[in-house]
Amino acid sequence: MPREHSSRPTTSLVTTGVVEEIPVLSDGVCADVLVRALQSVQQSRSFEVLAYVIMPAYFRWIVHLGRGRSTVSDVMRDLKGQSALEIMAYLEKEHSYGALSVFFRNAKTLDDQRRRFWRPHFEETVIGDLETLRSRIEAIHDEPVRAGLAGHPTEYRYSSARNHLLGDHSVLPVTPLSSLEWIA
């Protein structure tokens, strides 16, 4: 059940994946679409990105929502909708019919959609303290290394390890932990 708008700031680890784990996000164009969609939704929903990683078949990030702002469900609905449309348009243009057939097949039971790109649900874990937050950020940064996609976290383009460890905000800016409301 979605959480109601909170009078307290909320920080959450959120994960969502592509249906049937199709690795379309390994295509830099698709990953860039997701980044642009995230930035667009961030402008309209006012949240902070603390860490992220875009893996070939899923996206994991830590989002901080301020007092009385949107819920994670609001943000994810907008993000998934906006990014799915643009990614599928790109895949059609590129004649990626194998992936597209999976998206059509996954929407067969839906009355209001002809394709489904993202899994219908996302996983959310609320983070309540700084120690847990730092541990989750480190785990996110290590994911590309554990998956064999990079030798070091900063070598992976679509990871906030580049932000936190190199000061490189060229892909997606993240908010420094020291600027959050709930951290004393």
Residue-by-residue DSSP string for 56-72: SSEEEEEEEE-TT---H
Mean pLDDT throughout 9-34?
94
Cβ-proximal residues to 133 (8 Å cutoff; 6+ apart), any chain: 11, 50, 62, 127, 177
Average pLDDT over residues 54-67: 93
Cα distances (angstroms) measured from residue 142 to each of 4, 112, 124, 162? 32, 38, 19, 12
Residue 23 scores a pLDDT above 80: yes
Per-residue pLDDT at 1 exceeds 50: no
Residue 4 predicted with pLDDT over 70: no
Q: CA angle, corner 22, sides to 45 and 102, nearest 5?
A: 100
Q: Is 138 left (phi over 0), alpha (psi -120 to 50) or beta?
A: alpha
Q: Could you read off the pLDDT of 65-88 as tens digits, one per residue? A: 876 668 999 999 999 999 999 998
Residue holding tokens 């979605």?
2
Q: What is the pLDDT of residue 132?
A: 94
Domain range summary for the chain, segments of one domain joined by +: 10-179
If one compares 19 and 172, the residue with the highest pLDDT of the two is 172
| Exposure b/e, 30-57, CB count within 10 A at least 16 = b | bbbbbbebbeebbeebebbbbbbbbbbb
Provide the pLDDT for residue 7.
56
Instruction: Write out pLDDT tens, residues 126-176.
Output: 998 999 999 999 999 999 999 999 999 999 999 999 999 999 999 999 998
Would you say 160 and 174 are in contact if contact means Cβ atoms under 8 Å apart?
yes
Would you say 75 and 47 are in contact if contact means Cβ atoms under 8 Å apart? Answer: yes
User: 114 or 160, which is more confident?
Assistant: 160
In this prediction, residue 98 has a pLDDT band, given cuts at 50, 70 and 90, of confident
Structure confidence by residue, pLDDT tens digits, 25-53: 999 999 999 999 999 999 988 899 999 99
Question: Does the pLDDT value for residue 103 go beyond 80?
Answer: no
Residue 49, pLDDT score: 96
| Class of the CATH-defined domain 10-179 | alpha beta
Please choose, from the candidates 23, 17, 159, 21, the residue with its C-alpha nearest in 3D space to the C-alpha of residue 91.
Answer: 23
* Residue type at 9 in one-letter notation: P
Whether 90 has a pLDDT exceeding 50, the answer reads yes
